[in-house]
C-alpha cells in the first residue's frame, strides 16, 4: 500500500485534540473520515505529535496508507474537498517509503506560543492567543528561559498524566521576542526539541509569564527545575496560543 506524508494545518478550537475520540470531534477523526470518502474502509493515520484540545498547527505531519497509487497533489486536493467545513487543511502531500513514519522518523518538533498583553479582551484573536492583563518584562523572561535550555530532568514541567518513559529531555532552543501588533504587544515563544513531554510547553510559558509579571525572579525557574517536582511548577497556561509549527526529518519529505 503506497504511503503518503501529509502536512496538516488546523485551528484546534472546537476539537478535542488531535487524537481520535469516540464521542468528540478530533483532527485525526476528521482526516480519517475524509480518507474514507476516497477509499471506503476504516483508516488509521499516525501523526508526529498528539496536540491537546484547543492547540493549533501550522505544520503537523501525518501519514496515511492508501490502496490506490494516488498522485500526491490530487490526493491533497481531494482531501481538502472532503474536509470542508472543518477548519483542517492539507497543505502538502508527498509519497514516502514504506518504512517512513511521521512520529518515529522525526528528529525535531517546533512550537510557537503567542501571548498578548493588554487590558481589553481579545476579539479578533480570540482562541488564537493567550491574553494577560499585565505588562511583561521581556529580558526577565529571557533570563528565566535560559535555565531551561539544554539536557535536563523536566519532571517539574510535565503533566502528572504524562506517559513518556522518562522526564529527561533536551530542549534545543527557547527564544522569546516581542512584536508590537495592532492588537497590542505580542510575546512570541519559539521552542525546538526532538520531542516534548505532555504540557511541557504550556508549563514553560505559564511559569515564564509569572517571571515577566514580576511574581517570580528569573533564578526561581532554575530552582523549580532542580526541584524535580510538579508542585514547584508555575501555572500551566491555557492551550489557545500554542501552535505546532513544523516537524524536522533527516530528509524533508516535502522538499521539491
Residue 47 three-state SS: strand
- Cα 232 to Cα 153, 154, 203, 240: the distances in Å are 13, 11, 11, 23
Q: Report CA 232 to chain centroid distance, whole Å.
A: 24
**Closest to 254 in 3D by CA, of 82, 60, 69:** 60
Q: How many CA atoms lie within 13 A of 256 on its CB side?
A: 4
- Angle in degrees, CA 243, 123, 30, rounded to 5: 45
What SS3 state is found at 28? helix
Chain mean position to CA 174? 14
Within a 10 A sphere around the Cβ of 161, how many other Cβ atoms?
Answer: 7
122 CB contacts (<8 Å, ≥6 apart)? Answer: 116, 129, 131, 183
Among candidate residues 11, 23, 52, 219, the one labeled active-site is 52
Task: Reply yes or no on whether 92 is catalytic.
Answer: no
Q: Is 16 helix (H, G, I), strand (E, B) or coil?
A: coil
Give the strand pairing for 108-117 and 56-65.
unpaired
Phi-psi region for residue 170, left (φ > 0), alpha (ψ -120 to 50) or beta? beta
- Other CB atoms within 10 A of residue 109 CB: 23
Active site residues: 52
Amino acid at each position: 500500500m503506497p504511503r503518503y506524508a501529509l502536512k496538516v494545518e488546523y485551528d484546534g478550537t472546537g476539537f478535542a485534540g488531535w487524537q481520535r475520540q469516540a464521542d468528540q470531534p478530533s483532527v485525526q477523526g476528521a482526516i480519517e473520515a475524509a480518507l474514507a470518502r476516497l477509499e471506503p474502509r476504516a483508516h488509521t493515520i499516525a501523526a508526529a505529535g498528539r496536540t491537546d484540545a484547543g492547540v493549533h498547527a501550522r505544520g503537523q505531519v501525518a501519514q496515511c496508507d492508501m490502496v490506490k497509487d494516488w498522485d500526491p497533489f490530487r490526493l491533497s486536493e481531494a482531501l481538502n474537498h472532503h474536509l470542508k467545513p472543518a477548519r483542517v487543511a492539507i497543505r502538502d502531500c508527498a509519497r514516502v517509503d514504506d518504512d517512513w513514519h511521521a512520529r518515529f522518523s522525526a528528529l525535531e518538533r517546533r512550537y510557537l506560543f503567542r501571548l498578548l498583553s493588554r487590558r481589553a479582551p481579545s476579539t479578533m484573536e480570540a482562541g488564537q492567543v493567550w491574553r494577560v492583563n499585565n505588562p511583561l518584562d521581556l529580558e526577565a523572561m529571557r533570563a528565566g528561559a535560559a535555565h531551561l535550555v539544554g539536557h535536563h530532568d523536566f519532571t517539574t514541567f510535565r503533566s502528572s498524566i504524562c506517559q513518556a518513559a522518562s522526564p529527561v529531555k533536551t530542549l534545543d532552543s527557547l527564544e522569546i521576542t516581542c512584536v508590537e501588533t495592532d492588537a497590542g504587544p505580542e510575546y512570541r515563544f519559539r521552542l525546538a526539541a526532538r520531542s516534548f513531554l505532555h504540557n511541557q510547553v504550556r508549563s514553560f510559558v505559564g511559569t515564564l509569564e509569572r517571571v515577566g509579571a514580576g511574581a517570580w525572579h528569573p533564578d526561581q525557574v532554575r530552582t523549580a527545575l532542580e526541584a524535580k517536582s510538579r508542585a514547584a511548577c508555575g501555572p500551566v497556561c491555557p492551550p489557545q496560543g500554542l501552535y505546532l509549527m513544523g516537524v524536522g526529518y533527516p530528509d524533508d519529505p516535502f522538499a521539491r
